[in-house]
Chains A and B, each alone.
Chain A
Amino acid sequence: MPSEVPPILQPMLFDLEGVSVSRARREVLRGLDLSLPDGASCLVGPSGSGKSTVLRLLNRLADPDQGRVRYRGEDVRERDPRELRREVSLVPQLPALVPGTVAANVEFAAAFGALEADVPELLRLCGLDPGYADRDAERLSVGEQQRVMLARALALEPRVLLLDEPTSALDEAARDAVEATLNDLRGRLNLATVTVTHDPAQAGRLADWVVRVEAGRAVEQGAVGEVLA
């Protein structure tokens, strides 16, 4: 297994060491070890392999039963979870917006970081026309709602974006558009991203570094060309 990290991708963004998680008497992660460098990473694996659980550990939406999770070398348990989540922002698999307009949703998020949201600019960055600001968020299509979720996360000016199956609810055209947006964002905002996907081809389009997760373990990790070759 190629586990040497190319020097160009140093330093490590996340390190997980001997991580085990059980839910409802089922072992979801079993002594998982993995490292994610600063940059664009993907966790690839079949449904139920535990990759979404890994994502939730990275910003402490959950804690492991055993093992350690480090962010930039520091145990995440040493960090205030709320500050960590503003810096390492997660976009869930399905949109979960609050009732109200698109602008209200983006401002709702920014308020947790005591920030003023530039709503038109954030919408533009996420591939939505600024005219969407006054629209009822719950009446948008799933793809549009997912972009609003992305704009909400970006309103906190995070350093890392965690994306859980960001295109699973979208058709092919919408998927391509969201992928283009994500690649564009990385370049413009100097964001690190960790994306969970069941689709190795998507990992190839979105990531420089890929970890294969199967049955709660990282079975292969390395540069995208090596793992997906």
Chain B
Amino acid sequence: MSTTVDITLGEVAASLALIALAIAVSRWRRAELEGDIAVAVARSFVQLFAIGYVIQAIFDVDSLLLVLALILVMVVFGALTARSRAAEVPGALVPLLISLALAGGLTLGLVVALGIFEPTPRYLVPVGGMVIGNAMTAAAVALNRLGDDIRDKAPQIEATLALGASSSEAAAPIVRSSLRSGMITLVDSTKTTGLIFFPGTMVGMLLAGAEPTDAVRLQLILLWVLLGSVAISSLVATGLAYRNFFTPAHQLREPPEP
């Protein structure tokens, strides 16, 4: 995995031709996405370059404390981003912070403990970013579903509470389907990997000149690690967040006023 590849800014700029195509499609079909595409291009340029320099600095300093700080920042931003997708869930931020921190911490801890990756910034920073990014998406999808289903199925939940069920018993089917929603996208994409799409890490390594079997081995590790992380984040986020819909007396709370 020692291959390198030189990409010039000119080559990056040339790929803007495809952005021009996207904008042309949007204008032609009146999708009104031109502004969003421009913002997306500008943000991706600035954000990726900024994080590139930050990662370079962390690699240069070679400090695990800096890695930890970067991962904590990712957890906080990830939780804040996911909260906006889970607007129906009261007090979603704390469950999201805990779920992302646990997903990141347990996953990275395990891959280091099992000797899969060395505990160095070169491995922990990119893997941590992927783990927390995927955990964030899974937790956001799971809590979005949780919020919608608890409001939609309030009559069934109350009918179950009326039978003397606890709030965890009454919410169990919804928590289960929310957990499933959080995990299913990655499970499905893992099933079809190599057939319908090539995952990013593998593509990157192949473009950088790595042997295909090396690229496959690293990609498999990452896919399986990510499956573990989305399982943890979906489980913890749904398992904590559903409680905020109920009082300690096993009553369904009134929805918050708009």
B254 partner residues in chain A, CB cutoff 8 A: 23-24
Q: Give bound CA distance, A98 to B249, whole Å.
A: 22
Shortest distance between the CB of A64 and any CB in chain B (Å): 12
Q: Besides A25-B257, A63-B247, A156-B164, 11 other CB < 8 A contacts? A: A24-B257, A60-B251, A61-B158, A81-B249, A82-B164, A86-B164, A89-B163, A98-B173, A112-B163, A153-B162, A153-B163
B85 partner residues in chain A, CB cutoff 8 A: none
A150 interface residue (CB < 8 Å to B): no
Q: Give bound CA distance, A61 to B249, whole Å.
A: 8
Contact with B along A69-108 (1 / 0, CB 8 A): 0000000010001110110011110101110000000001
A61 partner residues in chain B, CB cutoff 8 A: 158, 161-162, 251-252
A112 partner residues in chain B, CB cutoff 8 A: 163-165, 169
The chain A residue with its CB closest to the CB of B162 is A90
A174 interface residue (CB < 8 Å to B): no
A63 partner residues in chain B, CB cutoff 8 A: 247, 249, 251
Q: Is the interface of B mostly helix, strand, loop or mixed?
A: loop
B156 interface residue (CB < 8 Å to A): yes
B173 partner residues in chain A, CB cutoff 8 A: 98
Contact with A along B150-162 (1 / 0, CB 8 A): 0000011011111
Q: Which of B158, B162, B247 has the most CB of A within 10 A?
A: B162
Interface residues of B toward A: which range? 20 to 34
B252 partner residues in chain A, CB cutoff 8 A: 61
A123 interface residue (CB < 8 Å to B): no
A23 partner residues in chain B, CB cutoff 8 A: 254
A223 interface residue (CB < 8 Å to B): no
Taking a contact as CB atoms under 8 Å apart, the answer to whether B251 and A98 are in contact is no
A219 interface residue (CB < 8 Å to B): no
Q: Give bound CA distance, A90 to B165, whole Å.
A: 13
B155 partner, pick from A96, A109, A152, beta carbons under 8 A: A96
B162 partner, pick from A59, A77, A83, A94, beta carbons under 8 A: A59
Interface residues of B in 111-168 (CB under 8 A from A): 155-156, 158-166
A34 partner residues in chain B, CB cutoff 8 A: none
Q: Give bound CA distance, A63 to B250, whole Å.
A: 11
Shortest distance between the CB of A165 and any CB in chain B (Å): 13
Shortest distance between the CB of A150 and any CB in chain B (Å): 12
Interface residues of B in 212-258 (CB under 8 A from A): 247, 249-252, 254, 257
A152 partner residues in chain B, CB cutoff 8 A: 163
A113 interface residue (CB < 8 Å to B): yes
12 contacts across the A-B interface (CB closer than 8 A): A23-B254, A24-B257, A63-B249, A81-B250, A82-B165, A82-B166, A85-B161, A92-B155, A92-B158, A96-B155, A96-B159, A109-B163
Shortest distance between the CB of B257 and any CB in chain A (Å): 6
Shortest distance between the CB of B249 and any CB in chain A (Å): 5
A96 partner, pick from B158, B169, B247, beta carbons under 8 A: B158
A169 interface residue (CB < 8 Å to B): no
A60 partner residues in chain B, CB cutoff 8 A: 249, 251
A62 interface residue (CB < 8 Å to B): yes
Q: Give bound CA distance, A112 to B166, whole Å.
A: 9
Taking a contact as CB atoms under 8 Å apart, the answer to whether B162 and A85 are in contact is yes
The chain A residue with its CB closest to the CB of B254 is A23
B161 partner residues in chain A, CB cutoff 8 A: 61, 85
B257 partner residues in chain A, CB cutoff 8 A: 24-25
The chain B residue with its CB closest to the CB of A81 is B249
Shortest distance between the CB of B161 and any CB in chain A (Å): 6
Q: Give bound CA distance, A180 to B129, whole Å.
A: 66
A182 interface residue (CB < 8 Å to B): no
Q: Give bound CA distance, A59 to B164, whole Å.
A: 10
The chain B residue with its CB closest to the CB of A164 is B162
The chain A residue with its CB closest to the CB of B155 is A96
Interface residues of A in 96-141 (CB under 8 A from B): 96-98, 108-109, 112-113
Taking a contact as CB atoms under 8 Å apart, the answer to whether A85 and B163 are in contact is yes
Q: Give bound CA distance, A4 to B252, whole Å.
A: 36
A149 interface residue (CB < 8 Å to B): yes
Given contact pairs A112-B164, A112-B165, A149 touches B249 in the complex (Cβ within 8 A) = no
A62 partner residues in chain B, CB cutoff 8 A: 251
B155 partner residues in chain A, CB cutoff 8 A: 92, 94, 96
Shortest distance between the CB of A194 and any CB in chain B (Å): 13
* Shortest Cβ-Cβ A-B pairs, 7 listed: A86-B164, A96-B159, A90-B162, A96-B155, A85-B164, A112-B164, A96-B156
